[in-house]
Amino acid sequence: MPNEQCLLELRAVSKTFNGVPVLADVDLRVGDGEVITILGPSGSGKSTILRIIGGFTAPSRGRVILGGDDITEVPINQRPFNTVFQDYALFPHMTVAENVGYGLRVRGAARADMAQTVARSLRMVQLDGYGQRYPAQLSGGQRQRVALARAIICQPRLILLDEPLGALDVELRKQMQGFLKDIQREIKTTFLMVTHDQEEAIAMADRICVVSAGKVLQIGRPRDLYYRPGTEFVARFFGENNLLKGLLGAAGNHYRHVEAGWGPIRCAVDGQPEIAGAASGLAAYGAVRPEEVSLHPADARLDAELNRMEGRIEAVSFSGALTSVRVVHTGGACVLQVRLQSRAEGVPIQVGQSVVASWRAEACRVVLA
C-alpha cells in the first residue's frame, strides 16, 4: 500500500471457532482505492477475514479500524461496506431492478431517484433492459453482475467480494476479471476480494495477501510475490519454481550465496533486509523461476557472474508457447526445470544432451527453508 492513504486496518485479529483457531494475529492494511486479493488454499481462513471485516463474524481478539476509527463493534448495516457473495445471494422474489435498488430503498430514497440510479447502475454492468427479469431468468455471469451492481449502488467505501467468480466457467471467469477491473477503475472504490485461484489474484490485484492456515504469510504486489517470495509456501504457490536446497552462506549487502552440495548459488537480496541479515548456516533455498534459466552447449564460455549448473537433459515436453525441459545435475544432486520459448523447428535440444544451465543472480532469491 505504498502511496495510498490507509482505509482499513486489521490489527492482530484472531478468531477461534469452538476453541479451534482459524485466524491467528492477522494484520492487514488496505489502502484507499486499491484492489487487494486474499489468496490461499481452501479452509485457510479467507472468508473468515472477509466476514470479520463485513461484520458478519466477530473477531475473538484484535481490532478492525476504518479510517482511524475502531469499528470492531459496529453492526453490519452501519458499516459503509457492501458484499458480493459467492453465490450472489440475490433476492429471488425481486426483479433485477428491485435487487439492485434494495440498498437505496432501505435508505428511503425517493422512487424517481431510485429508478434513475438503478438504471445507471444496470447500464454500468451492461445489463440495461434486464431490470424487469427475475434472478432465475439470468445466466451465471449476469447474476454476478447484478450482485455487483447491487453492491456498488450504495457507494460503499469498500467492496468485499468472496470468490465472486468461483461459480463461473473458465472462459467467463477471464472475461469477468477484466470486467471487474474496469468497473473498479471507473468507480475507484476499494476492492477486497477472496480467491483461491492464483492467476485470478495476479490478474486482478494491486496487492496480494497470501493466507495459509489462518496466518498472513506475505502481502505484496504480484511481481514481488512472484519473484521475491518470503516463504517456501509462497515460493511454491505461484506457478512453477525451482527451489534449490543448500545452506545460507556469509552475509552480504547485495548478494548472498546458498551453498548447495554441487556449488554456490548467488542470490540477490536487495529489498529483503530480513534475508540480508539472516544468520549464515541456515537451511535455505535458492529460488529461480524456470523461465529465467537459459541453456548453453556444454563447452560454452559464460560470464563468471552468472549462476551455472552443468547437467544432462532428461526430458523435453512441448506445451504450446513454451517448452519445458528438465535438466539433471551431472552428479544427480539437483534437478532444474527450465522453460524455453517454443520454436516451429523445435528447441535445439535433445534428451541426453549435456548442457550448462545459467541464470542471473538478480533473478534468484533466497527462501529460508
Ligand X SMILES: Nc1ncnc2c1ncn2[C@@H]1O[C@H](COP(=O)(O)OP(=O)(O)OP(=O)(O)O)[C@@H](O)[C@H]1O
Q: Give the C-alpha separation, 172 to 186, whole Å.
A: 21
> What is the CA angle 276-280-283, rounded to 5?
100
| Exposure letters 87-122 (e unless 16+ CB within 10 A, then b) | ebebeeeebbbbbbbbbbeeeebeeeebeebbbebb
Among 17, 56, 91, 318, binds ligand X (CB under 6 A): 17
Provide, rounded to whole angstroms, the least separation between the CB of residue 59 and ligand X.
12
Among 47, 82, 242, 272, binds Mg ion (CB under 5 A): 47
Of 54, 56, 83, 70, the C-alpha closest to 12 is 70
- Residues in contact with another protein by CB under 8 A are 54, 56, 75-78, 81-83, 85, 87-93, 102-103, 105-107, 134-138, 143, 150, 154
Residue range at the interface with ligand X (CB under 6 A); choices 35-43, 101-109, 133-141, 284-292: 35-43
Nearer to Mg ion, 40 or 103 (CB): 40
- 218 makes contact with Mg ion (CB under 5 A): no
Among 31, 40, 222, 263, binds ligand X (CB under 6 A): 40
Q: Give the C-alpha separation, 338 to 101, whole Å.
A: 53
Nearer to ligand X, 41 or 264 (CB): 41
Q: From edge to edge, which strands make up the β-sheet containing 61-66?
A: 20-31, 6-17, 61-66, 69-70
318 binds, among Mg ion, another protein, ligand X, none (CB under 5 to 8 A by kind): none
Q: Which residues pair with 15 in a beta bridge?
A: 23
Nearer to ligand X, 97 or 208 (CB): 208
Residue range at the interface with ligand X (CB under 6 A); choices 37-45, 118-126, 175-183, 340-348: 37-45
Contact 177, 204 (CB under 8 A): yes
Q: From edge to edge, which strands make up the β-sheet containing 307-319?
A: 294-297, 354-359, 307-319, 322-329, 335-341
Among 8, 10, 22, 138, binds ligand X (CB under 6 A): 22
Q: Give the C-alpha separation, 133 to 365, whole Å.
A: 54
164 binds, among another protein, Mg ion, ligand X, none (CB under 5 to 8 A by kind): none
Contacting positions for ligand X (CB under 6 A): 17, 22, 40, 42-48, 196
Contacting positions for Mg ion (CB under 5 A): 47
